Chain A
């Protein structure tokens, strides 16, 4: 029935998997970041967003969450430009 040598689209995409990297979570940036092994946080050199890291395995980092104070400052600046307000509305 099946051609056992055939490679499906999804299988062919396996080669695109990258380990040891995370993506910046800023939607207009999404740059690939390569943290030092075991490091606790990383800053995106492009947009400045800074993240806390968790290592699932020594080869598999993930972004745990933002470094709030750093990223809120970036947001504050953007808000002032876009909405013309200095109130970030944060409680």
Chain B
């Protein structure tokens, strides 16, 4: 059964492997996936450890429901101390890796140490081997996966790998699986590279016994109907995540030219429908594909039709690549977007981070803070497609002064560039923001300011806030499983009620990350999708474990507090511009200049923002500095952490 999957501790320095069961009481407290990873990180990472040192544990996991009959339980989670931020490192990706790891007998891996030469892990049916990877070092993310399959003579092997960006210790390198599934954020590919770990390969045929199989299958039909019946998922199944662009770029929520504008005008060529027209052979409603056990099929496939990379196959682009290689650098070519997307998949680097870094450098270049001396003659003005793609190469291979500096991440790069470069860096806690512009949406601004892994849209974003839902509908969603009778507002330009929405979303996202479910199957982009009330049956029928909606909420809150404790231990303070719960000054000082008429002139009100932070902390049971009170820790059963029970 799912509950008998194990945890393995692998020390790459010594070669020691230890395998342990996961006690049920730990499941009840931390569920699995990201939540259990937070427990393991807080307990195994020494305070102040070097993110690229051998003592930094890299934790890999599937969720509690991974590889069961439940829908869309494909997610793999990876956690470590981040080399990009020095705080929580955490990323999550789709594909097929985590289910295969579960069939191989494991839900969690804790990888410490550093191999003295390149290696990969081969995990199969309860066995773990450390194998030489000298011949794999230098290969891109796709080629290395096929090389491992060839070597092991099994096309069903699934691998989690790094490309050259991880080998070169780019601080925002990804872990990758499949063609484009990226554990993209916070640079955990860099942590893998620092351990000389090129890949983790898994293959399993160990059955997972479903606790109540007939009920599980029957219930899943209802679940799937609820998920596929949502308009948002029907649109995703035709156009992929770029469908979001249609709305956000209409009203002015797309960061353009770094942060100069909030809309990319006349960008019709990179709309998802245009991508569909361009890549006629492989994209479109009948050419979408999906992750393990998912019915939404939001992953597009394409071939580049022109240019240096003509004929190359890839997957995506995700919405994020439209920003990284379109809006932020102000490049309007579909060929550039698809090529940029292809390059980051091959190198294994975070598209959000690299796009933001290059757009930031472009603004610095136009301001004269960077000159042609630092760019070594590269004309780094906005809209220069060739320069954009060249910088992707330069960063991933650490070529040239600027490529090498930008590969270290925003804050170290700002220090090396000097002058007032930091003022233009659109980051929170050292991680760049998605290409979204939150000046007109205070709830979303609060979300990125307080997200546990830095500026991020997948940790607590109340995205349905943009739908202008009637207040009774909002109340129905946000008043369960914990009663809430405070204010809620349908207006996404308002501040009222947003702290509760962000708090609620933070818990719902943690819960799906613990279960191993995709966020498109919960209240992220669709208001009518499953949440706390819908999960107890799924968990019970598949695993036999009983939870109430409130117990799932409590576990999620507990795990979020563990992440908070980790960040506080590593230096987070409320108002620190580099490690705090705050925003770049431009959010407060520069009004929006594009978008819908009522977005024009919007900026975040600093006083109201601070009140939102106060309320957000209060909902958590944190003090005015954002530190959990002793009462809160006791309520959540965290008063004795670290307990080192696992």
Contacts and interface: CB of A to CB of B under 8 A. Distances in A.
Interface string B593-615: 11111111100000000000000
A8 B533 contact: yes
A8 to B, nearest CB: 4
A9 B476 contact: yes
A64 B245 CA distance: 8
A61 B440 CA distance: 26
A27 B268 contact: no
Interface in B257-299: 261, 265-268, 271, 273, 285
Interface string B509-546: 00000000000000100011111011011001000001
A57 B234 contact: yes
A10 B600 contact: no
Contact of B530 (A8, A12, A68): A8
A12 B476 contact: yes
A63 B247 contact: yes
Chain B interface bracket (under 10, 10 to 19, 20 to 34, 35 or more): 35 or more
Nearest to A12: B476
A89 B339 CA distance: 29
Nearest to A51: B250
B250 A25 contact: yes
B234 A60 contact: yes
Contacts of A13: 473, 476-477, 527-528
Contact of A27 (B231, B477, B531, B599): B599
A27 B528 contact: no
Given A9-B476, A63-B246, A89-B593, A19 B231 contact: yes
A10 B229 contact: no
Nearest to A32: B468
Given A17-B229, A56-B238, A11 B534 contact: yes
B525 to A, nearest CB: 13
B226 interface: yes
Contact of B601 (A9, A68, A82, A88): A82
Given A1-B546, A10-B531, A60 B231 contact: yes
Interface in B579-602: 591, 593-601
Interface in A16-68: 16-17, 19, 23, 25-30, 47, 49, 51, 54, 56-57, 60, 62-66, 68
Contact of B528 (A17, A51, A64, A78): A17
B271 A64 contact: yes
A62 B246 contact: yes
B226 A10 contact: yes
A26 B530 CA distance: 28
Given A16-B473, A56-B238, A9 B596 contact: no
Interface in B444-469: 467-468
Contacts of B231: 17, 19, 60
B440 A2 contact: no
B436 interface: no
Contacts of B601: 82-83
A82 to B, nearest CB: 5
A29 to B, nearest CB: 8
A78 B597 contact: yes
Contact of B273 (A16, A47, A54): A54
A1 to B, nearest CB: 5
A56 B240 CA distance: 12
A8 B247 CA distance: 29
Interface of A: 1-2, 8-14, 16-17, 19, 23, 25-30, 47, 49, 51, 54, 56-57, 60, 62-66, 68, 71-72, 74-75, 77-79, 82-83, 88-90
Given A14-B229, A26-B598, A65-B267, 19 more contacts: A9-B476, A10-B533, A12-B476, A13-B477, A14-B528, A16-B473, A25-B250, A26-B597, A27-B492, A27-B493, A28-B493, A49-B250, A64-B246, A65-B249, A65-B271, A72-B265, A83-B600, A89-B261, A89-B593
15 contacts: A2-B536, A9-B480, A11-B226, A14-B528, A16-B473, A25-B247, A28-B493, A54-B273, A60-B231, A63-B247, A65-B271, A78-B600, A83-B593, A83-B601, A89-B594
Interface of B: 226, 229-231, 234-235, 238-239, 243, 245-247, 249-251, 261, 265-268, 271, 273, 285, 440, 467-468, 473, 476-477, 480, 491-493, 523, 527-531, 533-534, 536-537, 540, 546, 591, 593-601
